Amino acid sequence: MTRSARWIVFWLGAGGVGVLIVLALLKMPSFGGLVHPYRELSVPAAIGRSSPNIVSSVNFDQRALDTLGEETILLGSVVGAAALLRPSKDEREQLDQDEGRVLEATKLLGYLLLPVTLIVGADVVTHGHLTPGGGFQGGVVLATAVHLLYVAGSYKMLRRVRPKSWYQVAEAVAAGAFVVLGLVGLLLTGAFLANIFPRGVLGDLFSSGTVFYLNVAVGAEVTSGVVVLLSGFLAQALSVREVR
Amino acid sequence: MSVDPSWLPPLGIAIPLVGACIVLALAKLAPRLVIDVVAMTTTVVSVGAMALLFAATSAGRVVTWVGGWTPRDGTSVGIVLAADQIGAGFALLACVLTACALSYTWRYFDDAEAHVHVLILLFMAGMVGFSLTADLFDLFVFLELMSATAYALTGHKIEEPRSVQGGFTFGVVTSLGAYFTLAGIGILYARTGQLGMPQIGAALDRHGMDALVLAALVLVLTGFLVKAAIVPFHFWLADAHAVAPTPVCVLFSGVMAPLGLYGVLRVSTTVFGGVLPAGSLHGTLLVLGIITAALGATLCLMQRHLKRMLAYSTIAHLGLFLVALATVTASGVAGAVIYVFGHAGVKGALFLMVGVLLARKGNVDEFALYCKGRDERLTKWLLPLGALALAGLPPFGTGLGKALSEESSGLIVLFVLVSAATGGAVLRASLRIHFGLGPRPDDTDVDTTKGEGEEQEGRFPQRLPATMIGAIVALLTGGLLVGLVPMEAIGEGAQRFLDRAGMLAQTLGGAPASAIGSVDVEWTWSGVVLGLLSAALAVGIGFVGVHFGLGRLRAALKTPLHVVHRLHSGHVGDYAAWLVFGMAAVGALFVIT
């Protein structure tokens, strides 16, 4: 199609869809209404299981199957990206000898922030059931921490501290742990992904039962997944060369 | 050993996930054989679990509340899985086709570590979850799981720019559709505060129909219509099938695209069934189905790239399935489901046979392969047989499904012509390739994609591995068995699928599964005659096509064909524009009809 034909088709459709959506939005419930059927149900359910972070309770307890699916989407995307980013038949990995210079200030800041970021990441993961955060968010922070080595140090250093195949195994084990925890629930109570661990006292680190352990599993999976993903992109950008 | 049936739906999702994780963990450590064995074992166990579930559904819908969040007073915060014979049947179909695809793959991908196995197992988990869930957001999650893994599988041959391009187009168009679905789910949540299909359905019944519900309906259906490749949401399908590894095409055509239709009907009956006038749903789906069938059949006849030919035949058949589903009667749904099952076997076998040609001749172009397949012992006889089965030759399952569908929809001419055209196109190619019939094809048409330059898949110049032959024979036999084995379960399942009140009562109220009638799903004399007629017409189309080419026909239809070909430009912007146009058209159809 020519450019103008494409735009005509698009605007014909967009006009129709736009009218429909505007009409729909006029019928939406207004902000600040008093009717919240799901909130009425989910808040007591979360508090009843010692999980003050309602979002985490919804994600890892009340609707844990969705989170299992989402975590699996992440796993599939990482594996898919790794498959697409693999060196092709006429490409090889070659490391450059000269990697350029890093500013002293960058180095200092990087090495200072590295442990801080690791601790923050671990904190966000392990307190996911208590405070905002959780496995997905904390996992990304942890993976970022690892890559401060590249920013402050060098690509070679990153590759030494980050053996890709280990992270791939860790990714698989962590993703599998979520499913296995679900299957244990099925065996013990007859319900997949049932909350099987002791609920504890509201506000304690080891409370809210399975939510804590699922958060840790997702945190490990996201950390290793993001590391594997970035390693594919970094390799394509820095070390994979076409050979003839 | 007896398993509580309510364990089976979550096991169907969990087993492939565990298998995928084991394969991924072993990827770098274990030899290739171990990877293959683990993946195959996982699939076989899944087939067993889903077969048990299918058997269990004969006693009624199997309802599972994940996490044990069984509703109190008709409300729950949890996710419900609800399997009837249709849902369990689709889950079983997904597992069986995956087993065939993996068997074919046994000696197939050399370079790709275990990535392909992991992706295929995750893809299977997505399809099983999609078939079994009764939660609207969960349905979206599994739709996305199917999509994310499917993009990577499509673009797997990274050396080929066309392959990556096909995966990219597939990704952009399907994601766009999925975002609209998510937006629709958001609107429904704003209105009802619920995410489960029965819960939203019950809440909508209290509110009634208005512009918001219509908008939500159109938005939610968009993602499923894209997956189902219904015109004008269909553009990605042929581009993706042309480049995806052949065993992956089996899964795309056999079960993934039909699952889109399953989603359309599941959502429009369970969620919107109480507020949407039956006539409106019928009219909209019927128009979409007829256009899709006609366009798919026309384009199928015009192809010389064998994988694209089969892809357009899939589009044509998806249109026929939709026409049968549009009746929203148990007989129509049963016919469509049997048609889907039979088609999955036959089309899967055809794709794998084209894969064999590609592996041995390095080419999937009908013209370039002219006379080159005379020495192929396997495909020489099975490819024409598959073509006739595609046209609906009794007693193949495609024939039974077609007979039941045309009877319930009443559109006999459409079913006969479309199925004959798709079978005839494949037969024409086979006669040229294997028997060297007709003059050497000489076509200078610039519009059609040639099938040369596809990357050769695998290396089997001498003998085909038994695993490949086994997969082809199993699929073709499966397509035959669907038409021979009594299928009362599907007739009953179709009744249950449409029994909205019973589903709401069983999921939300905890009512026991009610007894339900069945519809006849047997061969009739008129069905057999019409199936034979389609097959005869396909033979006619095949021989005429071989001897006269399409020269004269094409000359007469030059301008319209040129326009249609140009529309399938491969430009992702075109596809997105048509997607938005299609949404407006679907909305308008719902209002008009």
Provide the angle, in degrees to the nearest 10, between the axes of the packed helices B115-132 and B257-266: 20
Phi first, then psi: give them for residue B267, nearest 5 degrees.
-70, -45
Average pLDDT over residues B363-373: 84
Residue B503: closest CA among B321, B270, B272 = B270
Q: Is A26 on the interface with B (CB under 8 A)?
A: yes
CB-closest option in B67, B126, B189 to A62? B67
Local structure of B499: helix, strand or coil: coil
Residue B68 DSSP symbol:
G
Q: Tell me: pLDDT of B107 over 70.
A: no
- Cβ neighbours of A33 in B, within 8 Å: none
Q: Tell me: pLDDT of B28 over 90.
A: no
Per-residue pLDDT tens over the stretch A36-70: 888 888 999 988 888 888 999 999 999 999 999 99
Give the pLDDT confidence score for residue B550 in this predicted structure.
59
Give the pLDDT confidence score for residue B139 in this predicted structure.
96
Q: Of the given ranges (A84-88, B314-318, B340-344), which has the lowest mean pLDDT?
A: A84-88
Token look-up 């409300």 returns B75
Distance CA B547, CA B424 (A): 13
Distance CA A126, CA B35 (A): 34
Provide the angle, in degrees to the nearest 10, between the axes of the packed helices A3-26 and B211-227: 140
Q: Is B160 on the interface with A (CB under 8 A)?
A: no
Q: Of the given ranges (A84-98, B60-74, B111-125, B299-313), which has the lowest mean pLDDT?
A: A84-98
Element (H, E) at A169: helix A164-189
Element (H, E) at A91: strand A91-93
Q: Do B218 and A14 touch (CB under 8 A)?
A: no
Q: Do A82 and B195 touch (CB under 8 A)?
A: no
- Please name every residue paired with B81 in a beta bridge, in sequence order, or none if there are none: B64, B133
Q: Do A81 and B190 touch (CB under 8 A)?
A: no
Q: Do A179 and B68 touch (CB under 8 A)?
A: no
Distance CA A50, CA B233 (A): 47
Query: What type of residue is B526?
Result: S
Burial class (CB in 10 A: 0-12, 13-18, 19+), B277: exposed
Give me B269's structure tokens.
Answer: 């009956």
Local structure of B305: helix, strand or coil: strand
Phi first, then psi: give them for residue A33, nearest 5 degrees.
-70, 170
Q: Is A75 on the interface with B (CB under 8 A)?
A: yes
Distance of CA B19 to the CA centre of its chain: 24
Determine the residue among A60, A66, A178 to mutate to test chain B binding: the one whose Cβ has the most chain B Cβ atoms within 10 Å: A66
Q: Is A186 on the interface with B (CB under 8 A)?
A: yes
- Cβ neighbours of A165 in B, within 8 Å: 28
Please answer whether residues B546 and B441 qualify as being in contact, where contact means their C-beta atoms are separated by less than 8 angstroms. no
Q: Is B64 on the interface with A (CB under 8 A)?
A: yes
Per-residue pLDDT tens over the stretch B471-483: 999 999 999 999 9
Q: Tell me: pLDDT of B82 over 90.
A: yes
Distance CA A217, CA A223 (A): 10
- Least CA distance to B139: which residue of chain A? A66
Report which of residues B10 and B32 the model is more confident about.
B10
The secondary structure of A18-51 as a DSSP string is HHHHHHHHHTSPPTT-S--HHHHHHHHHHHHTT-
Q: Tell me: pLDDT of A140 over 90.
A: yes
How near does any CA of chain A get to the CA of B561, in Å? 14
ipTM score of complex: 0.95
Per-residue pLDDT tens over the stretch B391-436: 999 999 999 999 999 999 999 999 999 999 999 999 999 999 998 8
Local structure of B508: helix, strand or coil: helix
Q: Do A80 and B149 touch (CB under 8 A)?
A: yes
Break chain B down into helix, strand, coil percent, rounded to 5.
75, 5, 25
Give the pLDDT confidence score for residue B520 in this predicted structure.
86
How near does any CA of chain B get to the CA of A236, in Å? 13
The secondary structure of B238-304 as a DSSP string is HHHHHHS-HHHHHHIIIIIHHHHHHHHHHIIIIITTTTS-HHHHHHHHHHHHHHHHHHHHHHHHH--
- Cβ neighbours of A243 in B, within 8 Å: none
Rounded to a whole number of angstroms, the distance between the first and last alpha carbons of chain A is 38
Q: Is B208 on the interface with A (CB under 8 A)?
A: no
- Cβ neighbours of A81 in B, within 8 Å: 152
Q: Tell me: pLDDT of B243 over 60.
A: yes
Distance CA B147, CA B133 (A): 17
Q: Tell me: pLDDT of A228 over 80.
A: yes
Element (H, E) at B53: helix B32-56
- Cβ neighbours of B167 in A, within 8 Å: 84
How near does any CA of chain B get to the CA of A159, in Å? 17
Q: Is A6 on the interface with B (CB under 8 A)?
A: yes
Give the pLDDT confidence score for residue A100 in this predicted structure.
74
Per-residue pLDDT tens over the stretch B204-223: 999 889 999 999 999 999 99
Per-residue pLDDT tens over the stretch B497-540: 999 999 999 999 888 888 888 888 889 999 999 999 999 999 99
Please answer whether residues A17 and B583 qualify as being in contact, where contact means their C-beta atoms are separated by less than 8 angstroms. yes
- Cβ neighbours of B132 in A, within 8 Å: none
Q: Do A89 and B159 touch (CB under 8 A)?
A: yes
Give me A61's structure tokens.
Answer: 């307890």
Give the pLDDT confidence score for residue B440 in this predicted structure.
79
Distance CA A53, CA A49 (A): 11
Give the pLDDT confidence score for residue A14 in this predicted structure.
95
Please answer whether residues A182 and A64 qualify as being in contact, where contact means their C-beta atoms are separated by less than 8 angstroms. yes
**Cis, bond preceding B232 (omega within 30 deg of 0):** yes
Question: In B, residues 474-533, which contact A (CB 8 Å cutoff)?
Answer: none
Distance CA B75, CA A40 (A): 11
Handedness of CA B484, B485, B489, B490 (dihedral sign): negative
Per-residue pLDDT tens over the stretch B245-261: 999 999 999 999 999 99
How near does any CA of chain B get to the CA of A110, in Å? 32
Q: Is A56 on the interface with B (CB under 8 A)?
A: no
- Cβ neighbours of A172 in B, within 8 Å: 21-25
Q: Tell me: pLDDT of B443 over 70.
A: no
Please answer whether residues A132 and A219 qualify as being in contact, where contact means their C-beta atoms are separated by less than 8 angstroms. no
CB-closest option in B28, B115, B580 to A83? B115
Average pLDDT over residues A181-189: 93
Distance CA B269, CA B499 (A): 9
Distance CA B540, CA A41 (A): 64
- Cβ neighbours of B585 in A, within 8 Å: 13, 16
- Cβ neighbours of A86 in B, within 8 Å: 111-113, 115, 158
Q: Per residue in B392-428, is it b (16+ CB within 10 Å) or e — as a string?
A: bbbbbbbbbbbbbbbbbbebbebbbbbbbbbbbbbbb
Question: In B, residues 124-153, which contact A (CB 8 Å cutoff)?
Answer: 125-126, 129, 135, 137-138, 141-142, 144-145, 148-149, 151-153
| Count of all residues that appear for chain A in the document | 244
Residue B232: closest CA among B566, B571, B580 = B580
Give the pLDDT confidence score for residue B551 in this predicted structure.
59
Q: Tell me: pLDDT of A198 over 60.
A: yes
Q: Is A83 on the interface with B (CB under 8 A)?
A: yes
Break chain A down into helix, strand, coil percent, rounded to 5.
70, 0, 30
Please answer whether residues B259 and B130 qualify as being in contact, where contact means their C-beta atoms are separated by less than 8 angstroms. yes
Q: Do A79 and B118 touch (CB under 8 A)?
A: yes
Local confidence band at B291 (pLDDT 50, 70, 90 cut-offs) = very high
Report which of residues B347 and B156 the model is more confident about.
B347
How near does any CA of chain B get to the CA of A143, in Å? 19
Per-residue pLDDT tens over the stretch B115-171: 899 999 999 999 999 999 999 999 999 999 999 999 999 998 888 888 889 999 999
Give the pLDDT confidence score for residue A101 in this predicted structure.
80
Q: If phi over 0 gives left and psi between -120 and 50 gives alpha, with beta otherwise, what is residue B329?
A: beta
Q: How high is the mean pLDDT of chain B?
A: 90
Q: Do B25 and A68 touch (CB under 8 A)?
A: no
Report which of residues A16 and A153 the model is more confident about.
A16
Please answer whether residues A168 and B27 qualify as being in contact, where contact means their C-beta atoms are separated by less than 8 angstroms. yes
Residue B343: closest CA among B470, B530, B244, B480 = B480
Give the pLDDT confidence score for residue A202 in this predicted structure.
83
Distance CA B96, CA B541 (A): 33
A97-111, B182-196, B350-364, range with greatest mean pLDDT = B182-196
Q: Of the given ranges (A86-100, A171-185, B355-369, B542-556), which has the lowest mean pLDDT?
A: B542-556
CB-closest option in B25, B79, B156 to A83? B156
Provide the angle, in degrees to the nearest 10, between the axes of the packed helices A64-85 and A210-238: 20
- Cβ neighbours of A32 in B, within 8 Å: none
Give me B540's structure tokens.
Answer: 């006619």
Residue B235: closest CA among B143, B172, B182 = B172
- Please name every residue paired with B133 in a beta bridge, in sequence order, or none if there are none: B81
Report which of residues B532 and A243 the model is more confident about.
B532
Question: In A, residues 93-152, which contact B (CB 8 Å cutoff)?
Answer: none
Give me B399's structure tokens.
Answer: 């024939």
- What is the largest distance, in Å, between two alpha-carbon atoms of chain B? 74
A169-178, B102-111, B149-158, range with greatest mean pLDDT = A169-178
Give me A98's structure tokens.
Answer: 């000269």
Token look-up 């594997």 returns A228
Q: How many CB atoms lie under 10 A from the CB of residue A4?
A: 8
Q: Tell me: pLDDT of B494 over 90.
A: yes
Residue B307: closest CA among B245, B265, B264 = B245
Q: Do B192 and A23 touch (CB under 8 A)?
A: no
Local confidence band at A93 (pLDDT 50, 70, 90 cut-offs) = confident
Determine the residue among A186, A189, A211 to mutate to test chain B binding: the one whose Cβ has the most chain B Cβ atoms within 10 Å: A186
- Cβ neighbours of B582 in A, within 8 Å: 13
Distance CA B39, CA B102 (A): 8
Q: Is A236 on the interface with B (CB under 8 A)?
A: no
Q: Is B577 on the interface with A (CB under 8 A)?
A: yes
Please answer whether residues B262 and B571 qualify as being in contact, where contact means their C-beta atoms are separated by less than 8 angstroms. no
> C-alpha angle with apex B14: B13 to B16, nearest 5 degrees?
80
Give the pLDDT confidence score for residue B549 in this predicted structure.
62
Kindly report the pTM of this predicted structure: 0.95
Give the pLDDT confidence score for residue A244 in this predicted structure.
66
Q: Do A185 and B142 touch (CB under 8 A)?
A: no
Give the pLDDT confidence score for residue B149 in this predicted structure.
95
Local confidence band at B195 (pLDDT 50, 70, 90 cut-offs) = very high
Residue B59 DSSP symbol:
G
Q: Tell me: pLDDT of B557 over 80.
A: no
Percent of chain A with pLDDT over 70: 99
Give the pLDDT confidence score for residue B314 in this predicted structure.
96
Q: Do A14 and B66 touch (CB under 8 A)?
A: no
Q: Tell me: pLDDT of A165 over 90.
A: no
Rounded to a whole number of angstroms, the distance between the first and last alpha carbons of chain B is 52
Please answer whether residues A79 and B122 qualify as being in contact, where contact means their C-beta atoms are separated by less than 8 angstroms. yes
Give me B525's structure tokens.
Answer: 């004399």
Ordered alpha helix ranges (H), B107-160: 115-132, 136-154
Give the pLDDT confidence score for residue B458 in this predicted structure.
63
Burial class (CB in 10 A: 0-12, 13-18, 19+), B592: exposed
